[in-house]
Amino acid sequence: MADFCLPPSPSTGLHGIGGDELNPGVRVERLEKSIVFEVAGAESELLQRHRRYFADWGVLYHIRSVNPPEEGMDKVVLTALPPGIVERCRLDPKMAIELVRREAWAFNEKGTAGTSRQGRGNGSAEQAGDDDGTTRDWVARMQGCPAGIVEMLNSRSCRGAVMFNDVLDIRECEALVERLGA
């Protein structure tokens, strides 16, 4: 998960990949085939309001509005996702669609979006004091991450630990069993 917190590489050429001036706050991978889904007017406005937040977490999209609005549904075009979830979402695009929709509606119910990465002082690696380009406090940098992304990353981590027979200490085993039982 620490890799997820790395700032975007300047050499990726992904500036504005979301359809305009929005730049990702983390590393992203361009989707070879965009994920497109339709939304009604209210949901379209909601997604438009939260584009900056999603871009901060590497979920880049733009909205193609239908003019006039009564002629149909708007189209949301997902163009890039963070590396930790991109492959799973390519295989099952419904996961990416559900992630965006669920998180946006959760914001609407709470009356606010999650924490912006930029508002938390995501300084450079030098500011964090690490020579290898990672931050020591990557867990703190995950604060405010969309719940769906955290769930997918946790699921991927657990599958990887099982597949590669990772050894867990007692505390880690207890925590894993507790989470699985919840």
pLDDT, tens digit, for every residue of 14-61? 444 444 557 787 889 999 999 999 999 899 999 999 999 999 999 999
Alpha-carbon dihedral of residues 79, 85, 89, 95, nearest 10 degrees?
-110
Res. 124 pLDDT band, cuts 50 70 90: very low
- Residue 50 has, within 13 A of its CA and on its CB side, a CA count of 26
Tokens read off for 95: 């996961």
pLDDT tens by residue, 52-97 = 999 999 999 999 998 776 778 999 999 999 988 999 999 999 999 9
Closest CA to 24 of 52, 64, 66, 46: 52
Q: How many domains does the chain have?
A: 1
- Per the model's pLDDT, the better-predicted residue between 174 and 47 turns out to be 47
> In this predicted structure, which of 12-26, 59-73, 120-134, 168-182 has the lowest mean pLDDT?
120-134
What percent of the chain shows pLDDT beyond 90? Answer: 35
Q: What is the DSSP code string of 95-117?
A: HHHHHHHHHHHHHHHHTS----S
105: confidence class by pLDDT, cuts 50, 70, 90 = very high
Domain residues for the domain of 111 are 2-181
Task: With 0.75 as the threshold, say if the pTM is over it.
Answer: no
